Structure 1
Amino acid sequence: MRWITTSPTKSFMLGMALFFGIAINQAMAQADALAFAQRTADNAVKELTDKGLSASQRVERMQKMIDTTFDVDAVSTFVLGPYASRATAEEFSEFKRLYRVYVAHNYAGLFTRYSNVKVKMTKETKRPNGDVIVDGMIRQSDGTQVDLRMQLRPTDNSFKAVDLHVEGVSMPLNHRKQFSSIIRQQGGSVKGLISALERLVGKLQQASTSP
């Protein structure tokens, strides 16, 4: 079984984009998407690059950010693609749980390698379906700039992210391709993907608690 890998810098940027949605005050609920994205990006940089955090603490913060920032049901459904309709309710629930943990562990450690990262959100574009596309840029300490795009979906009192792109690459789409390949190897079984994720998550959890 082959897991798709990316360079440390690009993986960090994907993680950065994914987790810049840290929970914010309810007063932000009425603010526009651009302000929401900028304020949450600033908070995420502060929280996740803290050198004083242990590996397990950083993972725990990421998991909370996923829950508060992303529409996990929508993203999980997209990532499973055509196989989502084949999954039982129990399988979908278990996949969603494992996917959340997998993403948190996969990117958490990358934040320890970078400092002085700045994010500037510059433009928002409303779509006919009500979603808002927010464009911006990640600036690294060496001056390198990386394009960032996040798709937000309005909720009753705030926003939830349903997609993000870094340098034109969609993280959920990358995972969809990766997981679809595994499911095909397992004969079209979502249960097979769940078993593969369980093994991988177990290794990631063990690594995060090792001294």
Structure 2
Amino acid sequence: MLQMPFSRRPVLMLLVAAGIGLFASLLPARAAEADSFIRQVGNETLKALEDRSITQEKREDLLRNLLTTHLDLEAVGRFCLGRYSRSLTDAQRPEYQRLFEDYLVKVYSQLLAQYNGETFEVREGARSAGSETIVESQILRQNGPPIRVEWKTHEKNGKPLVTDVVVEGVSMAFTQRQQFESVIQNNGGKIDALFAAMRKQIARR
């Protein structure tokens, strides 16, 4: 086995130690930034939901702004399409991204319409998981135990963005991926079948 000359090994060890020290010093700052980011997302979402008199159209506008500001729509959309993302033509790719955004807005605005005074609490101490940072939080309900929610985030162009939300251990992105893949598989592997299903969901009132 090749070994470095003895005189250079202490230099390498010093560099490794310095790197570890630098990484360790960055972790608290990264965790604090992630905690603050998710707290901001949660508060903005709750603020958007407080007005129970807003129309469905207004709720969708508020949610679209939240998604386009805080979610990595491109990365999440690609993940949800799974292996079929490689099958998209140049014409289908932008069409899918538009449909994916509209689909999320429609589905989650309907879910958020069920808001009933729940509050949101971020648990301090985000943890690193490779290139992602995971922030733990709870949704506190008036009737019933808290709901545990984990937020996965990463940095893109110097800005933190959400890549997944895990509710009581269930990944929203992975669940959506399974649904999309099921639609495509049940229709002979045709991505256009998924597009049609998404348009149908988007058109629902």
TM-score after normalising by structure 1? 0.77
- 1:126 Cα deviation from its structure 2 partner: 1.2
Q: 1:12 matched to which residue of 2?
A: none
Q: 1:108 matched to which residue of 2?
A: 109
- 1:174 Cα deviation from its structure 2 partner: 0.8
Q: 1:42 matched to which residue of 2?
A: 43
| Separation of aligned partners in 2, 1:185 and 1:143 | 38
Contact kept? 1:49, 1:111, Cα under 8 Å: no
| Separation of aligned partners in 1, 2:130 and 2:201 | 39
* Residue 118 (1) aligns with residue 119 (2): yes
Q: CA RMSD in A?
A: 1.7
- 1:34 Cα deviation from its structure 2 partner: 0.6
Query: Which amino acid letter does the alignment assign opposite residue 171 of structure 1?
Result: M
| Separation of aligned partners in 2, 1:198 and 1:106 | 12
- 1:143 Cα deviation from its structure 2 partner: 4.6
Q: 1:128 matched to which residue of 2?
A: 130
The SS at the match of 1:115 is coil
After the TM superposition, which residues 123-202 of structure 1 pair with which residues of structure 2 at under 5 Å, given as runs? 123-129=125-131, 131-202=132-203
Query: Which amino acid letter does the alignment assign opposite residue 100 of structure 1?
Result: E
* Residue 55 (1) aligns with residue 56 (2): yes
| Separation of aligned partners in 2, 1:90 and 1:65 | 27
| Separation of aligned partners in 2, 1:103 and 1:119 | 21
Which of the two has higher C-alpha Rg? 2
Structure of higher RCO (CA pairs closer than 8 Å, 6+ residues apart): 1
- After superposing the two structures, state which structure 1 stretch, 169-178 or 186-195, moved more: 186-195
Q: 2:86 matched to which residue of 1?
A: 85
TM-score after normalising by structure 2? 0.79
Query: Which amino acid letter does the alignment assign opposite residue 180 of structure 1?
Result: E
Number of matched pairs: 174
Contact kept? 1:78, 1:176, Cα under 8 Å: yes
Q: Structure 1 residue runs of 4+, over 3 Å off?
A: none
